[in-house]
């Protein structure tokens, strides 16, 4: 299953020219307002017709201007999850879900998947409720389930968590992770929240002024200091993948093994062996020339300076190679000069356990 996009489209003074390809899993579209994310989503959904180009999903051409092909939205077999759940208020959750299955008419799998979808999204206790009795996170889970039961070839998610508070976002993120791992279809995910994107995405497409500035694995792009929205941005941070080794119950900590080394962080409610992503903000990494003594930092990684780039008037961004994994640190220029930091220098990076979050 793959999505192929190669389009050019102008609207007023805005010019869009994008080309990329992605497979199953979550491909996040990330960029500032006006970068072209919403226009691209509309072009994929068939809500707009591109002036030139081609879009195909799983080998099926949705639009090809050179061949005169343009499938209307209702024939594209795409699922769409909006910022607002848009559930039918007069129907209970079960009926809202079954409405999505109506769009799978004629498919061999029409009557399959309801129980699996309900279980994956944790909807069993909600089936008899009406939308007015649901929290924001619960509504979005129902909206996702309804879209999946239409048996789409591609799922579009346009800032599905933007209207939720922090608690509701934390509630729904694990369900979107389940969806990512189980659906086996391309999912195009739009968000302005970098931590959310880094946690969920298998593939990242960075948009700016209607162009693809970069695309690839999130961990690789996050380590690039030349990308202002990522490595060089205010929310700069490295992304490490690791496995949960064990828990330290007496101290409320969990141990995660990553390529960069073992890390301790606040207890994670997952079993040993679970795979996860850790996002380490650059501002929370402190560098030392020698292993520090008497420090309260629980995590100390050895690395080598690979790249340095000024950030603003007073800061310096430093990219480290820690056993093949990238780590970013944002320190003052004064500190960089005092330590005589330069590419090739071996250093130690201290990270507070409370600074890390699940990417």
- Give 240-261 pLDDT, tens digit per residue: 999 999 999 999 999 999 999 9
Question: What does residue 137 show for φ and ψ, rounded to 5 degrees?
Answer: -65, -40
- Give 143-169 pLDDT, tens digit per residue: 999 999 888 999 999 999 988 888 888
What order do you get walking across the sheet with 299-311 strand by strand?
Answer: 285-288, 346-351, 299-311, 315-322, 325-332
What is the residue-averaged pLDDT of the chain? 90
Query: Rounded to an integer, what distance in angstroms lies between the CA atom of residue 80 and that of residue 13?
Result: 28
- Give 56-93 pLDDT, tens digit per residue: 998 899 999 999 999 999 899 999 998 888 899 999 99
Q: Which domains does the chain have, with CATH numbers?
A: 2-216 (3.40.50.300), 237-358 (2.40.50.100)
Closest C-alpha to 64, from 55, 76, 73? 55
pLDDT greater at residue 348 or residue 265: 348
H or E element at residue 335: helix 333-339
Determine the 3-state secondary structure of 148 from DSSP. helix
Q: Are 42 and 11 in contact (CB under 8 A)?
A: no
Q: Exposure of 96 by Cβ count < 10 A (0-12 exposed, 13-18 middle, 19+ buried)?
A: buried
Relative to beta strand 25-30, strand 186-190 is: parallel
Determine the 3-state secondary structure of 75 from DSSP. helix
Q: What is the pTM of this model?
A: 0.86
Q: Are 160 and 144 in contact (CB under 8 A)?
A: yes
In 68-201, which ranges are continuous DSSP H helix?
Answer: 93-101, 114-120, 136-148, 166-183, 194-200
Please compute the mean of the pLDDT values over residues 337-358 and round it to a whole number.
87
Q: Are 314 and 332 in contact (CB under 8 A)?
A: yes
Closest C-alpha to 25, from 143, 150, 202? 202
Q: How many CB atoms lie within 10 A of CB 41?
A: 20
Query: Rounded to an integer, what distance in angstroms lies between the CA atom of residue 211 and that of residue 191?
Result: 17
Beta bridge partners of 301: 349
Q: Both ends of the chain: CA-CA distance in Å?
A: 25
């Amino acid at each position: 299953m793959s999505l192929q996009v190669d389009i050019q489209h102008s609207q007023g003074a805005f010019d869009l020219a994008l080309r990329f390809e992605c497979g199953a899993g979550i491909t996040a579209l990330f960029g500032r307002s006006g970068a072209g994310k919403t226009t691209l989503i509309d072009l994929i959904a068939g809500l707009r017709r591109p002036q030139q180009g081609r879009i195909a999903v799983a080998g099926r051409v949705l639009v090809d201007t050179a061949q005169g092909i343009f499938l209307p939205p209702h024939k594209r077999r795409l699922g769409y999850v909006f910022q607002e759940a848009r559930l039918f208020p007069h129907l209970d959750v079960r009926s809202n879900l079954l409405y999505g299955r109506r769009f799978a008419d004629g498919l061999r799998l029409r009557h399959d998947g309801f129980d699996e979808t309900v279980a994956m999204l944790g909807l069993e206790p909600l089936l008899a409720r009406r939308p007015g009795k649901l929290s924001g996170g619960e509504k979005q889970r129902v909206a996702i389930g309804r879209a999946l039961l239409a048996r789409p070839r591609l799922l579009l998610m346009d800032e599905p968590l933007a209207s939720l508070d922090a608690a509701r976002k934390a509630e729904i993120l694990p369900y979107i992770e389940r969806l990512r791992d189980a659906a086996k279809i391309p999912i195009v995910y739009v968000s302005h929240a970098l931590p959310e994107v880094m946690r969920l995405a298998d593939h990242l497409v960075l948009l700016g002024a209607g162009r693809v500035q970069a695309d690839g694995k999130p961990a690789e792009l996050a380590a690039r200091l030349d990308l202002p929205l990522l490595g060089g941005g205010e929310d700069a941070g490295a992304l490490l993948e690791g496995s949960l080794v064990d828990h330290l119950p007496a101290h409320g900590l969990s141990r995660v093994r990553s390529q960069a080394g073992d890390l301790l962080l606040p207890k994670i409610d997952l079993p040993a062996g679970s795979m996860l992503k850790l996002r380490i903000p650059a501002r929370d990494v402190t560098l030392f020339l020698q292993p520090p003594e008497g420090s309260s930092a629980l995590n100390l990684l050895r690395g080598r300076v690979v790249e340095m780039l000024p950030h603003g008037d007073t800061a310096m961004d430093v990219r480290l190679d820690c056993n093949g994994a990238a780590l970013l640190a944002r320190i003052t220029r004064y500190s960089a000069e005092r330590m005589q930091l330069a590419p090739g220098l071996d250093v130690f990076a201290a990270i507070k356990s409370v600074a890390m979050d699940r990417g």
